[in-house]
Structure formats: structure tokens, C-alpha cells
Amino acid sequence: MKTVCCIKRVPDTTTRVKVGAGGAAIDRAGVEYVVNPYDEYAIEAAVKLREQTNGECIAVCLGPPEATKDLRTALAMGADRAIHLVDENAETRDSFSTAKALADALRPLQFDVAFFGKQSIDADNYQVGTMVARLLGIPSASVVVGMEVQGNTVVCSRAVEGGVETIPLPVPCIVTCQKGINVPRYPALKGIMSAKKKPLESIPAPAISNRVVVSKMELPPPRPAGKVLKGDAAANAREVVRLLREEAKII
Amino acid sequence: MANCILAVGEVREGQLKKITWEVVSQAKRLGAALNQPVCALLIGSGVNDARKPGEYGAATVFVADDAKFARYSTDGYADVVAKVARECGACAVLLGATAMGKDLAPAVAVTLETGVAADVTALAVAGGEIAALRPVYAGKARVTVTVATAPFMATLRPNVFLPEAPNAGAPVEVVKVDVSGITPKAPVTLFAAAAGGKVDLAEASIVVSGGRGVKGKAEGDDQALHGQFQENYKLLENLAATLGAATGASRAVVDAGWKPHSFQVGQTGKTVSPNVYIACGISGAIQHLAGMSSSKVIVAVNKDPDAPIFQVANYGIVGDLFEVLPKLNEEFKKALG
């Protein structure tokens, strides 16, 4: 099968967010960037399916020039080639402008299954994969925690409130990955060496207007200072339950 | 000509889910600010209580009731929402930021050629324009957004927008949606409920969550640690049973393999905003705080007085959770008597 994994470059989870000078995005100074954690599952799923079916795996990223590093990671994990849609300001794109550019790049690839992370951990929109599917007119399943390929059908398990849904998707289709779907491999030294020689095509990402416009970014208000109790466990337990009832009025 | 706010409800096995009241109620408040009536939409098979959204402020309830919608399908449901939004001239379409709403909204937005403000925690109207507040970076920051295209679309975070007091006598018109032209291409074929009727983490109004500290002083091989953690975690389960709470865990616990990922609270797990979050043996790594610091009240139990969790806790107990939790359970039992 021909598989695709779409990845995003995002600030590491340990980042302490500061608002940047424009007041509508983060201050990028000193921020460590990584492959979006959920996209690691997408890479693993795409590479694994390519190995099982002796097909081809293409890694795609809409990101700033530095994102070639993240595409090399995907190549080191086993993708055969990469396409980089270059946009210096990729971070300021909304879900639709990202999805539209990706859909146009994916359309000519004639893929069977394209994998995305279920959300990026920066903007938390969880929309891009589903939008790409709708733009391409193919079925999708989001937040997928398990997957089995049966002929030309990808049977997905999707985590929802109170249980798991089963959705069989005929190919071509799109799957957005949640932790649990697989265990991403670490790139082996051999993979890292060979990744340097694999083809990586860079093309400018088309400019597409944002539909969702950010006017302001701010830090959440600090939580009011709390009460910290020390000493006798029984007395403290009694006091906390009293405070929940009488002060917070919540129990 | 835009002439209503469309609130998309949620139906499971014919029953309306709680998020429906939250979405319809917020649509009513938005409609009051924009001088627009509220329409609700219910999609399912054998939908009960179709008039009930009227009690929360819907003037009209559109019902797409057909065997082909017995289970969810992204494309089938999206086609219905887009059709109704167009036919009723919605200027805003609101959904819950639930598993269904999060999946459905982007598909609908593509068809309606608009954008979605996702996982919104507040809506305001200024100069006839809707502004949405939404967390980013799992709550480490928040942004104010507008939607430049029409209709405005948003998914609303569960447990944040309170339902209005229901008005049983409110007039409501129920309209059947013609869905003859819609064929779901990739529907859900099976729903397997999680074992034991447990309260779902994302929907719970109280969460009891455990971190590495729940392991206690146990040492030994992986299997021994795993066993000891499960044994100790029963203290949390007992407390949760008393409170009707859901149970959760930190990333450290999930990464150690002691709890499945569905329990994880934090930046790479679930973001929760319950009324009460009780953190037990959780130090409070920044990724964890991001996922729970929008809880209304935070209670922390930790033996380390310098643990960062105490900086966000309303009520903290410095102490051994193995002593404190049984006492808390006793006190809650007395209080709830």
C-alpha cells in the first residue's frame, strides 16, 4: 500500500509558554521544537503498513525551513521520501489553510491511507486530518487507538466517551492517531544514515487565508493562593471536606 | 440572510446526552445577544425526547431520525448538519467538544466553507461579532478568536457552559429533516462500552487522579511494582466510588504501564475541567498542570511540601496519601451521609 504520514513541528511539552511581541502568538525564543507527539504514531503506522504491504511511505510536513529536521526523523524511522511544504509562518496558519494546502499536495500522490496525529499539541484544534479527508471526499476516522487492515479495508478502533467505536474505512482513507495505536520506533543508526540520502522535495506552501483569526493570546489568570494543611491526617481530611462544603460549596 | 443559531445535540442509543443541554443553553444566551432564535438538531435512530431541547431554549428542533443514523458516521452526520445549517440560515453552528463534536465540526466546516473555533470555554458578542476564548498549548495559554467566514462555528468544552433551568412549558416546534439524499459511507459498525459503567474521565464532575506516589515505597521487578500500584490504587477507587467520581492518572503512571492511556490527564492525555480534581501523589509536572488547572477546585495530597501541585491547589494536604485518603473517604461518607 502507498501510505502517507503528515507531521507538524511543535514546541516540546516542557515549554513554558510566553506571549510574543505581537500579542497573538508565543515568543519562540529559546523554545525547543519537536515532532508533534501524536504524529510519531502517524509515522509509525504509515511505515509499518508500508513494510507489511511492501509499498511506499511518504512523509509530508507543512512547516518552516527548520522542519526538514523533522522530516529527516520520519525518513530515519522508515519513510521512503518526503515532501516539505515550506512556510516560514506555518505556526500562524489555521486548520483550514493547513488542511487545504495538505489536501492539494496529497491529491496527486494516489495514496491508500494517510495518517495524521489526532491533534497538534500547540494549537489543539484536532481538525486538520478530518478536513483533509472531507476536502478529498474520502472517509476518515479520528482519535484511532487500534487498527487492522483487512484487504482494502482499514478497520479502526476509535476512543469515545464510555467506550470504543469500530469503523471500517475503505481505502483511500485518512486515520488520525491517538496514543495506543502503536509504539513508535526509535530511528536506528542505519536509518539515520540512510535518511540523509533519501529524497526530500521542498516546495513553497500556497498562501491561503485563515478563516479562524487569532486576535489575542494571553496566559491564563493565576489560580488564587490555596490553603496548605500539614500535620494530623484525620484533622486535615476533616478540614478539607469542611472547606469543600462550606467555602467552595461544591460537595 | 442569517436567521438562527443552530445547536447540534448528541444522541446515543436514542437518548439525548447531557452535552445537548449545555450546547442548547449556550445557543440561547448567544441568540439573546444577537437577537436570533435557537434551532436544535438531533441526529439518530429512534430519538426520544425530541421536544426536550425546547425546555432549554430551542424554538425549533430539527430531527434526522433514520436507521442509517443509528450509529455515528463522519460523512453522514456532517451532510445532515450542513444541510440543516443551510436550510435554516444559521449564522452560528454550535456543537459539543466531545468525541463526536470534535470529529464532526471540521467536516461540516469544509462543506459550509467556514472555520471552527475548537474547544471553546467562553463566547462573547461585541459589535455583532462573536469572539471565542479557547485554550491552546493544553491550557498553558489561551487565545481570543473570531471566525472571518460565515457561519460562525464552535465546539464547546463540556462542563463549562452551564445548562439553563429547564422550562417545561416552553413552546417548541419539531421538524423532521428529509434525509433521503444522504447515505453514510463509513459508519461506525460496533460500539463496545467500557467495562463496569464507570464514570467517563472527560465527562466527570469529580476526578480522583493518581501519580507515581501511589506506588508507595514498593521496590522490585516491573511485575511487583505493577501489582503494588494496582493494590494501592484501590484507595483512589474507593474514594471515587464514594464521590461518584472518575479516576485518572499522571503520564508517569501511564508511561510505566500501570494504567492505560485512557486514564492519562495532561498535555498528551485528556484535558479535564471538573468541579473538583483530587490529585493524589502527583507532583505536578507542567504537562499535567496544563491538563487539569482549569478545574474549578483542586485538592492535592502529596508528602512533598514543595511539589508544584500545591501552587495550583485550592486545598492541599501535606502528608502520606496512604494515611490521608482513607480519612478523606470516611469524612466524605459522613458529609454525604
In a domain, A214, yes or no: no
Per-residue pLDDT band for B219 (boundaries 50, 70, 90) equals confident
- Whether the CB-CB separation of B109 and B21 falls below 8 Å is answered with no
- Whether the CB-CB separation of B11 and B98 falls below 8 Å is answered with no
CB spacing of A166 vs B260 below 8 angstroms:
no
In a domain, A52, yes or no: yes
> Shortest CB distance from A213 goes to which of B105, B146, B305?
B146
R_g of chain A computed on alpha carbons: 22
> Shortest CB distance from B276 goes to which of A130, A231, A244?
A244
Q: Tell whether A132 is within 8 A of chain B (Cβ).
A: no
Per-residue pLDDT band for B276 (boundaries 50, 70, 90) equals very high
Residue B24 is which amino acid? V
- Distance, in Å, from the CA atom of A227 to the CA atom of A211, rounded to the nearest integer, reads 44
Q: Tell whether B112 is within 8 A of chain A (Cβ).
A: no
Residue in A with minimal Cα distance to B245: A251
Q: Which pLDDT does position A162 carry in this prediction?
A: 84
Prior bond to A64 cis, omega within 30?
no
DSSP string for B29-49: HHHHHHT--EEEEEEESS---
What 8-state DSSP symbol labels residue A223?
P
Tell me the shortest Cα–Cα distance from A115 to chain B, in angstroms.
15
Helix (H, G, I), strand (E, B) or coil at B306: coil
Optimal mutation site among A35, A161, A178, A242, interface B, most CBs of chain B within 10 A:
A161
Per-residue pLDDT band for B258 (boundaries 50, 70, 90) equals very high
In a domain, A228, yes or no: no
Pairing of strands A33-35, A56-63: unpaired
Helix (H, G, I), strand (E, B) or coil at B115: coil
**Residue B84 pLDDT > 50, yes or no?**
yes
CATH number of the domain enclosing A156: 3.40.50.620
CB pairs A-B closer than 8 Å: 270
- Whether the CB-CB separation of B143 and A24 falls below 8 Å is answered with yes
**Which residues touch A151 (CB under 8 Å, ≥6 apart)?**
none
Q: Tell whether A23 is within 8 A of chain B (Cβ).
A: no
Q: What average pLDDT does the structure give for chain B?
A: 95
Tell me the whole-structure pTM to 2 decimals: 0.93
**Residue A47 pLDDT > 70, yes or no?**
yes
Q: Which pLDDT does position B202 carry in this prediction?
A: 81
* CA-angle at A117, arms to B289 and B7, nearest 5°: 75
Please choose, from the candidates A59, A71, A120, A74, the residue with its C-alpha nearest in 3D space to the C-alpha of residue A95: A120
**Residue B1 pLDDT > 50, yes or no?**
no
CB spacing of A169 vs B114 below 8 angstroms:
no
CB spacing of A162 vs B298 below 8 angstroms:
no
What residues make up the domain containing A130? 2-204
Q: Which residues pair with A182 in a beta bridge?
A: none
- Distance, in Å, from the CA atom of A157 to the CA atom of A150, rounded to the nearest integer, reads 14
**Which residues touch B8 (CB under 8 Å, ≥6 apart)?**
B23, B40, B41, B43, B81, B93, B94, B95, B96, B101, B104
CB atoms closer than 10 angstroms to residue B291: 25
Distance of CA B123 to the CA centre of its chain: 17
Angle between helices A68-77 and A37-53 (to 10 degrees): 40
Distances in Å between the Cα of A166 and the Cα atoms of A9, B8, B133, B208 are 30, 23, 33, 29
What 8-state DSSP symbol labels residue B265?
B
Q: Which pLDDT does position B195 carry in this prediction?
A: 65
Optimal mutation site among B314, B325, B329, interface A, most CBs of chain A within 10 A:
B314
**Which residues touch B337 (CB under 8 Å, ≥6 apart)?**
none
> Shortest CB distance from B136 goes to which of A123, A178, A210?
A123
Interface predicted TM-score (ipTM): 0.95
Angle between helices A128-136 and B99-112 (to 10 degrees): 40
* CA-angle at B210, arms to B301 and A121, nearest 5°: 115
In a domain, A184, yes or no: yes
**Residue B197 pLDDT > 80, yes or no?**
no
Calculate mean pLDDT across residues A27-41: 96
> Domain count of chain A?
1
Q: Which residues pair with B10 in a beta bridge?
A: none
Prior bond to B151 cis, omega within 30?
yes
Q: Tell whether A237 is within 8 A of chain B (Cβ).
A: yes
- Distance, in Å, from the CA atom of B71 to the CA atom of B84, rounded to the nearest integer, reads 19
- Distance, in Å, from the CA atom of B76 to the CA atom of B73, rounded to the nearest integer, reads 5
Q: Which of residues 194-213 of B touch A (CB under 8 A)?
A: 194, 200, 202-203
Calculate mean pLDDT across residues B308-328: 97
In a domain, A198, yes or no: yes
Residue in A with minimal Cα distance to B131: A215
CB spacing of A133 vs B136 below 8 angstroms:
no
* CA-angle at B271, arms to B289 and A99, nearest 5°: 120
Residue in A with minimal Cα distance to B246: A162
CB spacing of B115 vs A26 below 8 angstroms:
no
> Shortest CB distance from B190 goes to which of A128, A166, A250?
A166
Ramachandran angles phi, psi of B178, nearest 5°: -75, 110
What percent of the residues of chain A are helix, what percent strand, and what percent coil, each to the nearest 5? 30, 30, 35
pLDDT over 70 for what percent of chain B? 98
pLDDT in tens, B98-149: 999 999 999 999 999 999 999 999 999 998 899 999 999 999 999 999 999 9
> Shortest CB distance from B141 goes to which of A96, A219, A251?
A219
Q: Tell whether B126 is within 8 A of chain A (Cβ).
A: no
Optimal mutation site among A34, A158, A167, A212, interface B, most CBs of chain B within 10 A:
A212
**Strand order in B141-147's β-sheet?**
A212-218, B141-147, B129-136, B122-126
In a domain, A137, yes or no: yes
Which chain B residues are closer than 8 Å to A19 by Cβ? Answer: 141
Q: Which of residues 133-152 of A touch B (CB under 8 A)?
A: 133-135, 139-143, 145
Q: Which of residues 223-282 of B touch A (CB under 8 A)?
A: 260-262, 264, 267-269, 271, 275-276
Lookup: cell for B107: 467536516
Which chain B residues are closer than 8 Å to A35 by Cβ? Answer: none
Q: Which of residues 35-94 of A touch B (CB under 8 A)?
A: 37-38, 94
In a domain, A159, yes or no: yes
Tell me the shortest Cα–Cα distance from A110 to chain B, in angstroms.
20
Optimal mutation site among A8, A10, A12, A13, interface B, most CBs of chain B within 10 A:
A13
pLDDT in tens, A132-191: 999 999 999 999 999 999 999 999 999 998 889 999 999 999 999 999 999 999 999 999
- Distance, in Å, from the CA atom of A242 to the CA atom of B49, rounded to the nearest integer, reads 39
First-to-last C-alpha distance (Å) of chain B: 56
Lookup: cell for B226: 505493577
In a domain, A179, yes or no: yes
> Shortest CB distance from A161 goes to which of B74, B200, B275?
B200
B94-108, B141-155, B199-213, B239-253: least confident range: B199-213
pLDDT in tens, A225-249: 899 999 999 999 999 999 999 999 9
Calculate mean pLDDT across residues B5-29: 97
Q: Which pLDDT does position B257 carry in this prediction?
A: 93
